[in-house]
Amino acid sequence: MAEISASGAPQSVAGIQSSYLAQVQRRRFYGGLTLLIFVILMVSGFNIADDRNAGGFWEGLHQIGDYPADVLSEAWEKRADLPGLIAKYVPALVETINIAAVSTLIGVAGGIFLSLLGTRGLARWPRLIPLFRRISDIMRAVPEIVIALVLIFVLGGGPVPAMIAIAIHTAGALGKMFSEVAENADLKPVEGLASTGATWSQRMLLGVLPQVAPNYISYSLLRFEINIRASAILGFVGAGGIGYELRNAMAWGPGRFDEAAAIFILLFGTIVFFDQVSSRYRNRLTEGQGQ
């Protein structure tokens, strides 16, 4: 691009037109080539995956609705029991939400520290920025379920290993998001506080956090929703809560599908509820910023 304008000498309109057209054609050619490679990769990748699949994609496609249909029809037959079953599983749901809430709180605290220590311009020890960044990379690279399985093996089943596993992942993921917000924070208040002799933690607490708080809270609420789902899944591997009950109900197969349906309704309702609450709260935060 630069070579056209770098010459400096005024060119004729025809010359500019033909050089720009050549550039457009080159761009179109590369664009088309990229698209072609993308389509070829997608199609061939799909075929390879489908060959290795035990059942085959096309043969299995029409069966996709069978399981939900079984669950729904059985749940409909026993619909009179549903309210009782829902009430029965509420304590398990509370346990799941508790796991999510505690791990979100701990993860947010960890994420704030990781982000402030890993952001250029704010870090306490600028030389250690890469170290803290890699720590947060590792924490979010390992899936929660892997950490939970290891911890359950060491500590035994129950909510505590699940909580630790989710908190570690949350701290890593939020550390990344928080540090992107902190990078855009205005450094002038921090400099002002430094000029009064404030310590690093005082500067962060009073100079940075008030600026980034709305964004941090908004990301934390989003993470809380994600963690509810994560903690329900960890129940499958023995971390307790509603996921454990769901696995039992599903593993029993036909006959207990009404229980599975009750648990699905509970999970769905919970996630909708927290989604509504947090989106309302987030809207208020962003509107508050504008005033």
Partner 1 sequence: MLKIDALTKRFGQNTAVDAAQVSVDRPTMIGIIGRSGAGKSTLLRMVNRLSDASSGTITFEGEEITALRGAAKRDWQSRCAMIFQQFNLVPRMDVVSNVLHGTLNKRSTFATMFNLYPQADIHKAIEILDRLGIAEQASKRAEALSGGQQQRVAIARALMQDPKIILADEPIASLDPMNAQVVMQSLRDIHEQDGRMVIANLHTLDTARRYCDRVIGMRDGRIVFDGTPAQLTSGVARDIYGAGADFSEAATSTEIETLDRSAQQKAYA
Could you tell me the smallest distance in angstroms from the CB atom of residue 1 to partner 1? 5
Backbone angles phi, psi at 153, to 5 degrees: -65, -40
197 contacts partner 1 (rule: CB under 8 A): no
Number of H helices, E strands in the chain: 13, 0
Binding-site member from 26, 29, 31, 39 for partner 1 (CB under 8 A)? 31
* Closest C-alpha to 123, from 43, 203, 22: 203
21 contacts partner 1 (rule: CB under 8 A): yes
C-alpha angle 105-237-61 in degrees, rounded to nearest 5 = 110
How far, in Å, CA of 86 to CA of 113, rounded? 40
Task: Report the residue number, 17 or 201, with the smaller CB distance to partner 1.
Answer: 17
34 contacts partner 1 (rule: CB under 8 A): no
Could you tell me the smallest distance in angstroms from the CB atom of residue 17 to partner 1? 5
Task: Count residues binding partner 1 (CB under 8 A).
Answer: 16
> 241: Cβ–Cβ under 8 A, 6 or more apart, which residues?
92, 93, 95, 96, 99, 159, 162, 231, 232, 234, 235
Say what angle helices 82-117 and 209-234 make with each other, to 10 degrees.
Answer: 140
154 contacts partner 1 (rule: CB under 8 A): no
Find the part of the chain contacting partner 1 (CB under 8 A) among 25-33, 46-54, 66-74, 78-86: 25-33
Could you tell me the smallest distance in angstroms from the CB atom of residue 8 to partner 1? 8
Task: Report the residue number, 27 or 134, with the smaller CB distance to partner 1.
Answer: 27
| Diameter of the chain measured on Cα atoms | 85
Find the part of the chain contacting partner 1 (CB under 8 A) among 1-9, 50-58, 125-133, 143-151: 1-9
120 contacts partner 1 (rule: CB under 8 A): no
37 contacts partner 1 (rule: CB under 8 A): no
Task: Report the residue number, 24 or 94, with the smaller CB distance to partner 1.
Answer: 24
61 contacts partner 1 (rule: CB under 8 A): no
One-letter amino acid for residue 63 of the chain? Q
State how far the alpha carbon of 48 is from the alpha carbons of 20, 38, 51, 64, in Å.
42, 15, 5, 21
73 contacts partner 1 (rule: CB under 8 A): no
Find the part of the chain contacting partner 1 (CB under 8 A) among 20-28, 38-46, 226-234, 259-267: 20-28
Q: Is 98 helix (H, G, I), strand (E, B) or coil?
A: helix
36 contacts partner 1 (rule: CB under 8 A): no
State how far the alpha carbon of 10 is from the alpha carbons of 3, 6, 15, 20, 24, in Å.
13, 11, 10, 15, 21
Work out the end-to-end distance of the chain between its first and last CA atoms, rounded to an integer number of angstroms.
Answer: 43
Find the part of the chain contacting partner 1 (CB under 8 A) among 19-27, 148-156, 177-185, 201-209: 19-27
Query: Which residues bind to partner 1, rule: CB under 8 A?
Result: 1, 4-5, 10-11, 13, 16-17, 19-21, 23-24, 27-28, 31
